[in-house]
Structure 1
Amino acid sequence: MSRNFLTFLSSGVAISVLASIAPAYAQDDSAQAPQGAAAEPVYEEIIVTATRSSRSLQDVPMSVNAVTGAQLQKLNILDTKDISRLAPGLELTNTTGRNNTIALRGIGFDPDQGTDPTVQVYLNEAPANAQTVFTALYDIGQIEVLRGPQGLLRGLSSPGGSITVTTQRPKFDEVEGYMQGTVTDRHAYNVQGGVTLPFNDKVSLRVAALVDGNRGNQVRNASNGDFSRGNTQSARLTLGLRPTENFTAYLTYQYLQSDIRQYQQVFGEGNSFGGVATGPGDISIRDRLAVGEGLNRFKNTSHFVNLNMDWDLGFANLTGVASYQASDLVQERDSDPANSFPGLALQQRNTIPYRVPVFELRLASKNDGMFGWGLGAFYQKTKGTTRVNQDTAQFLAPVNGFYLPINSRITVPVDQETWSFNANGRVRSGGFTLEGGLRYTIIKGVRTTDIVSTSPGFFPIIPAFTQVQDGIPADLRNQKDTPLTGGATLTYEFSPALTGYLAYGHSFRAGSVGVAVPVGISNDLIATRGEKTDNFEAGLKGSLFNRRLNFAVSAFYQTFDGFLNRFAGVYYNCPNFAPGVCGTGPGSTPINNGTDVPAADGTFDFNYNGDATVKGIEATIDARPTDFWDLSVNMSYVKARYKSSARLPCNDFNGDGRPDMDGDAAITGTGNVSFCGLSRLTDTPNFSMTATTELRLPVEGSVEPFVRGLLSYRPGVYSETRSFQYRSRTLIDLFAGVRGNDGQWELTGFVKNVLNQQRITDFTGTPRISFTGSPSVTSGYAPINTTLPREFGLIATFRW
């Protein structure tokens, strides 16, 4: 790892040296141009909206990765998760087929933790649920990855950054569109397209649609022979209105329907329970097998309405965003993916309605003159009642059929409201630009949970029972936060080809209240406090050789006061109402240093705060060495660590203060869970790199052959919480094809994961089951996720 760091550091130094001579090269380019004429730049200027206004990427005082719709089509990026292949330090994962997770700069987030994300996703400038946005990727205008805390310019504060997705908008002066079809040898297909129909110079319509089918993680279930599979259909209508030269509006409606059945991959030697085998024996990573006997099915039906308007008032611009997302998620999960109990399917069935209206107004001066200003107001309300039906079984001894069946019905009404008001200003003089502002936010939330547990009992040992519980203590139900966030940037333009900046950002995330947390545990495991973060960043952006080489280098240091994280699969103990049922009813006993019977009641995913620091450097190089060759390299080195004083929930069976799962499950210390000192915030390596290239072959005639390549490298990393060493992975995708010289059509063949590397990307660990007065047992299988195997495919694209 030190070698990677030194290599990256030397690259950054080299780029900085080149940057220092940019003014000279800029003068040389101008000198070589004919008198009175400017040299034609090789690269077109990249325009981004990271600062809520259209500005050159070189002038934006933050680290930004911009991916255009054309790039997504060229590299066959059909899954939003694959955008991480183009942005080092960004990890987009989906381990179960439903929970899209984002980590950026080593700062991660689990969508099940019930907090605002560390990286906020926006669709057409409105906050949107990542589960919906990441499900269908088509007819995209541009995707921007904004790095660092966002607490001023957009409505919701986020400590890691933001991802903004902008769909294609209709033009008012021409009919244009595209069709693209993809098929692969892994039973996958994707057909998408979009067309603009201008009625006149004032009204235009964009119609786009997608049909997608695949086998997901390419896993086969050994118990029934079925494969994972999924299908998605989506359609989008965008109406463009331009009644006057000073007013433009875009009204978008998107419908999405997806149905995903994804089996959980496992590996291991297997075991038996009650004399029945848990699976077919030894399973390797390359077998791509599942052994769970239950169903994993996730259905998403979503409607998304979005309105963007821009009104030029002369002295200022008034912009507005209004959106409404209505999603219904119906999810069924196998709670025993390792088949610890053969013949018994333990299912969890969830219905999650998601109703979110958003409104925002911004009034800002024109981006010219010495002084500038902006004012804004934002509103969002989240409503919906989540219902969970969970089947569990508490085995009294390692004998098949000797168990207590338990059913829990959990009702979670969600009611959260966010208001925010912001003001910012700008002054520009002598090449310097100073910008800054503040956002005042009011966050109100009411959290309640009703839990009803029932069981027919186990005659004659345990009688039938029904237990009704309030899942959240009364004093923790109402939440209100009023954070003040914002930031400031100082930019200096050394020359038209070189810009430097200094930036400060402050963001906030409201604390959480656990949903369906086991009753009887301490409040610190139920509720978390709010998280605060401060980030300091310095960067340099420029170009050389008449923009044949563009570069960006940034360094940052970030501190967290109470970073909010989720700790999955932590064993807990609590007073028992009945075996395996926590509570305070008849028969409960006080916790006694983890010696309650059994010694561990089960596992749960807990949220917890821990102070942390994040520091690193990032660099991007885009080059066109010749007119026929493009090359882009992105590198990131980030060290995201907890402070030594942080004590966090963990599994520490042997009591040495470090995470482990050796032997029977046990709780260390006097609390309901064990606590350890941990290092990494997420299981992401310090260094990562991506590179893309395209070589066009100049030939006579009406066609142009080309080859493309996409490489991403991720070193190995050790997971403390999982006690597992992840191996390094180098993923290479290759493309070769021909296209018309006019760019109207393109035929491309590709190979993804050329090296066919099979690497574990997520390791849960082998489940361990405890019994009353008996040794624990395991299924012998560990649930995992792995990289997808080598895939061959063909893409046909037609544009007009």
Structure 2
Amino acid sequence: MLLASASISAISTPTLAQVVGNDEVSGPDNTIIVQARRRDEDVQDVPAVVDSVTSEQIAKLNFRDFREVQNVVPGLELTTESNGVGGSAKLRGVNFDVNASGFNATVQFYMNDAPITAGLVLQQMFDVGQIDVQRGPQGTLRGIASPSGSITVTTRKPDLYEAGGTVDMTANDIGTLNFRGAFGLPIIEGIAAIRVAGVIDQNELNRVKTINSNFGGRDPSASTEAGRVSAIVQPADWLKFEGVYQHMDRRVRSYDQVASFSEVNPAALPSPVYIDTSDRLSDQVDPTRIHQKYNIYNWRVEAGALGQQLIYQGGYSTQDVQSRTTLDSAVVFPGRNVFQDTDSRSKSTSHEVRLQNQDRLFDFLDYVVGYFQQRNSAPTDLLRRTAVRLPVAFGGGLATIVDTPIERRGVSKERSFFGNLTAHLGSATEISGGLRHIDYESNNTLAVGGPIIARDGQDEKKWIYTGSIKHNFSPDFMVYASTGSSFRPGINVVGNFNIVPSALERSFSNLPAETSKSYEVGFKSTMLDGRMNLNVTAYHQTFKNYPYRPTNGVFFVNTAAVRNATGQVTGVRQEVAQFNFVGAVPVEVNGVEGDLNFKVSDRWNLGLVASYSLGKIKDGTIPCTDINQDGNPDLVTTAPTLAALQGVTGANNLSTCQTSIRSGLQAPFSASLQSEYRIPISDRVDGYLRGLASYNGKSQADPTSRFDNVGGYALVNLYAGIRDPEGNWEVALFAKNLFETEKALSRGAPLVTNYQQLGFGGFGPTGPILTGPTSASTTSTYTGITMTPPREFGLNVRYSFGSR
């Protein structure tokens, strides 16, 4: 371990293993085979940036949670929502907020070629064959249009000729036990086979504990149980059937991490208990509780004849998420059940039929044509509990809690036709182009307290395109240029429950469709007799109507129904509320990406990948809090009063600002360095040292706040162990975040609890006279933060046999 830390060199790079189609095999020259253009190609021949993470790399780096993939794909950020409802991938300088954009992702996920939502993927990984991250606009070759890229997860497939499997166990010093296994068996040799895989995982998440243990707070925990069954039937060489079913059940008990605002703002009021970032503590009394149940069905048919191939890919998934999260962020009513309950049940179905050539037409043409359709629905029920507070003269405690049921219903549908044609002009030059016609429709309703208060939807039709040209100046040097457009339907933002919204509010809740154009140039090269690859790409992308969502939310004047304890409406009230409205803005992104893979010797491999991407809003109109009316978003450290907010917003209920700020929250520059050094111990045992260092440069989590800027930092993982030279078994000791880097990655504004305040009007014949209620809020001395993962030391043991 000490030797490895002196030379952070040590890991097999993504281009040192091979996957052909959906089945892992050993190939010549240790190349990577991808299906970026719907046919098997060496990644070095594809005129696009594709980062491949193989099953071998996942095992060697002990990646258990899918989000760890971002450590080897610079520029990629993978996150999940704190309420467990969804997740997102961010790439090439722009964000994706699942609460703002729903199913219309900037980076689209696929499982075995069928589109799938991020929330179903960003979980515990097991029995994965390969992960391909393709950058840039997608959509003319398959699936769904996405402006920034796609991530394809290919699960391992059964072997038709040989039985085999893998057993993998990991334990660490911070409460993790992880067991993964898989077994495959030919049912009829050469014709039918089945594979079963699963994972059981227990861990303590980010290890954030509560300071309020006197209320019975328990340690954080997450438990996952998941299984997958895969089958292949190939009755003839020209016909193949595949099917996959996966189920996952996950339960979470967690606390939102906080830090004293005075840690970054000396002028802030002191906290009752000082908490800094490294403490990994929360002032949350009651934990967030999440229960997720996922089912994924995936099926495929391939038929070939006369040099052509017809492929049908189907997918169906269900997501059932129940969560309970606190609405008392400032802990005004500790232990008094001021919660929001969320019950989200989504379903997604997709069908794609694709025809493509197996043999090149006229010796120089490749084509892909197809039809795609998808239907999504995500009915969500919320129960929001509003606290009503007693007058200060009576202790200021909780008088009652008023429940407001909220229902969101919606369905989206897409139907599209696509095609791509590639012309090979001799052995050195290639021209490719594609088109897709999209027909999208959605319908949504929002009901608050029973009545429907809003109906919205989209009906959009759009053409998008891609084009590229590449030229091989030699077998080892290729230059390419490409362009492409993309489209995302306008979004209908969920979460503003104002029963009397203004026209301006509606404009920041129902947005027009987003379009984008991208231009890219690059080269791919192989040197030193195939021992080194060097690839570099530069790109420029522009967006119209990009949905920008302020990180910390916007204060606005909300009108809500006044209800009694039985839920009956007795009137209306105005109050200060906070919501992440979304503005449709123009964005420009410029970036450079590169990777270097070098086989230094038979024992030593080295890989370096780097990305720089800077996205900026170009004079866009965004929703904002602007109490001082200077046209710039305020740095809010406490909630404004209702009178102050009404005075500046008038009938609009909220303010707008004209601004040019970053469109992405992640660091513009990031890089990862990987390597492995092998040490033969005997004919039957190899020793090794591995290292992974991932670096993230300076970033601004919220461009409008000076208190949450993040300085550059690096995370270092080291691995040492012994293994069978043929890869049949391995025993490894590892350290993740070896140097215990503790960095706050995001820091919100001070936490706020909104409630209804009763007044005291003196005494009457029957006792005290209570007036109101009126809108009120309390601002905490703490801010919500996220930070780098905790350090862990662990042991991994893996055994494989037969066909793995």
Normalising by structure 2, what TM-score?
0.86
Aligned positions of 1:341-740 closer than 5 A: 341-366=333-358, 368=360, 369-393=363-387, 400-401=396-397, 405-430=401-426, 431-452=428-449, 468-472=450-454, 474=455, 477-517=456-496, 518-521=498-501, 522=503, 523-574=506-557, 576-577=559-560, 601-643=576-618, 645-659=619-633, 660-662=635-637, 664-665=639-640, 667=645, 668=648, 671-676=652-657, 677-718=659-700, 719-723=702-706, 724-740=708-724
In 2, the alpha carbon distance for the partners of 1:758 and 1:337 equals: 24
The answer for the alignment partner of 2:54 in structure 1 is 68
Provide structure 2 residue ranges, at least 5 long, that are not aligned to the other structure.
1-25, 264-268, 758-773
1:442-474 Cα offsets, whole Å, 9 max, x none, are: 11111111110xxxxxxxxxxxxxxx54332x5
In 2, the alpha carbon distance for the partners of 1:340 and 1:710 equals: 44
Quickly say closer, same or farther: Cα 1:579–1:766, change in 2 above 3 A. Answer: farther
The answer for the alignment partner of 1:245 in structure 2 is 237
User: How far did 1:280 drift?
Assistant: 6.0
In 1, the alpha carbon distance for the partners of 2:118 and 2:240 equals: 28
Answering whether residue 750 of structure 2 is matched by residue 754 of structure 1, we say: no
Quickly say closer, same or farther: Cα 1:575–1:182, change in 2 above 3 A. Answer: closer
> Which of 300, 304, 310 pairs up with 1:308?
300
> Which of 285, 288, 295 pairs up with 1:296?
288
The answer for the alignment partner of 1:781 in structure 2 is 782
Q: What code does the residue aligned with 2:130 have?
A: Q
In 1, the alpha carbon distance for the partners of 2:100 and 2:199 equals: 31
In 1, the alpha carbon distance for the partners of 2:732 and 2:111 equals: 29
The answer for the alignment partner of 2:199 in structure 1 is 210
User: How far did 1:567 drift?
Assistant: 2.7
Quickly say closer, same or farther: Cα 1:561–1:502, change in 2 above 3 A. Answer: same
Quickly say closer, same or farther: Cα 1:244–1:621, change in 2 above 3 A. Answer: same
In 2, the alpha carbon distance for the partners of 1:652 and 1:685 equals: 27
Q: Is the 8 A contact 2:251 2:290 kept in 1?
A: yes
Bigger mean CA offset, 520-529 vs 562-571:
562-571
Q: Is the 8 A contact 2:260 2:276 kept in 1?
A: yes
Quickly say closer, same or farther: Cα 1:350–1:134, change in 2 above 3 A. Answer: same
1:340-364 Cα offsets, whole Å, 9 max, x none, are: 4434332111111111111100001
In 2, the alpha carbon distance for the partners of 1:528 and 1:425 equals: 34
In 2, the alpha carbon distance for the partners of 1:678 and 1:649 equals: 13
Aligned positions of 1:216-227 closer than 5 A: 216-223=205-212, 224-227=216-219
SS at match of 1:448: strand
How many residues are paired up? 725
User: How far did 1:373 drift?
Assistant: 2.2
In 2, the alpha carbon distance for the partners of 1:344 and 1:451 equals: 23
User: How far did 1:680 drift?
Assistant: 0.9
1:395-453 Cα offsets, whole Å, 9 max, x none, are: 5877622667432211111211111111221211132111111111111111111110x
User: How far did 1:573 drift?
Assistant: 2.9
User: How far did 1:377 drift?
Assistant: 0.3
Bigger mean CA offset, 559-568 vs 195-204:
559-568
SS at match of 1:83: helix
Quickly say closer, same or farther: Cα 1:178–1:576, change in 2 above 3 A. Answer: closer
SS at match of 1:237: strand
Q: What code does the residue aligned with 1:161 have?
A: G
Bigger mean CA offset, 715-724 vs 70-79:
715-724
Normalising by structure 1, what TM-score?
0.86
Quickly say closer, same or farther: Cα 1:343–1:239, change in 2 above 3 A. Answer: closer
In 2, the alpha carbon distance for the partners of 1:330 and 1:410 equals: 15
The answer for the alignment partner of 1:33 in structure 2 is none
Q: What code does the residue aligned with 2:420 have?
A: N
Quickly say closer, same or farther: Cα 1:488–1:269, change in 2 above 3 A. Answer: closer
User: How far did 1:646 drift?
Assistant: 0.2
User: How far did 1:106 drift?
Assistant: 1.6
User: How far did 1:743 drift?
Assistant: 1.9
Q: Is the 8 A contact 2:112 2:155 kept in 1?
A: yes
1:216-238 Cα offsets, whole Å, 9 max, x none, are: 11111222341111011111111
Quickly say closer, same or farther: Cα 1:190–1:662, change in 2 above 3 A. Answer: closer
Aligned positions of 1:50-61 closer than 5 A: 50-61=36-47
Bigger mean CA offset, 307-316 vs 196-205:
307-316
The answer for the alignment partner of 1:263 in structure 2 is 255
Quickly say closer, same or farther: Cα 1:577–1:188, change in 2 above 3 A. Answer: closer
Q: What code does the residue aligned with 2:629 have?
A: G
In 2, the alpha carbon distance for the partners of 1:514 and 1:580 equals: 26
Q: What code does the residue aligned with 2:486 have?
A: S
In 2, the alpha carbon distance for the partners of 1:240 and 1:684 equals: 41
The answer for the alignment partner of 1:8 in structure 2 is none
Superposition CA RMSD, Å: 2.6
In 1, the alpha carbon distance for the partners of 2:794 and 2:272 equals: 32
Q: Is the 8 A contact 1:260 1:299 kept in 2?
A: yes
Q: Is the 8 A contact 1:577 1:586 kept in 2?
A: no
SS at match of 1:779: strand
User: How far did 1:777 drift?
Assistant: 4.0
Quickly say closer, same or farther: Cα 1:338–1:750, change in 2 above 3 A. Answer: farther
Q: What code does the residue aligned with 1:373 have?
A: Y
In 1, the alpha carbon distance for the partners of 2:675 and 2:378 equals: 46
In 2, the alpha carbon distance for the partners of 1:121 and 1:339 equals: 38
User: How far did 1:690 drift?
Assistant: 0.7
In 2, the alpha carbon distance for the partners of 1:620 and 1:309 equals: 36
Bigger mean CA offset, 178-187 vs 675-684:
675-684
In 2, the alpha carbon distance for the partners of 1:717 and 1:781 equals: 22
Answering whether residue 72 of structure 2 is matched by residue 86 of structure 1, we say: yes
The answer for the alignment partner of 1:13 in structure 2 is none
Identity %: 28
User: How far did 1:575 drift?
Assistant: 5.9
1:504-551 Cα offsets, whole Å, 9 max, x none, are: 111111111233422323321221110000000111112111221112
SS at match of 2:620: coil
User: How far did 1:394 drift?
Assistant: 5.6
In 1, the alpha carbon distance for the partners of 2:560 and 2:649 equals: 22
Quickly say closer, same or farther: Cα 1:669–1:350, change in 2 above 3 A. Answer: closer
Q: What code does the residue aligned with 1:649 have?
A: P
The higher-RCO structure (CA 8 Å, 6+ apart) is: 2
In 1, the alpha carbon distance for the partners of 2:359 and 2:482 equals: 19
Aligned positions of 1:136-151 closer than 5 A: 136-151=124-139
Provide structure 1 residue ranges, at least 5 long, that are not aligned to the other structure.
1-39, 272-276, 453-467, 590-596
User: How far did 1:278 drift?
Assistant: 12
1:109-129 Cα offsets, whole Å, 9 max, x none, are: 111114311111111111112
Q: What code does the residue aligned with 2:522 have?
A: G
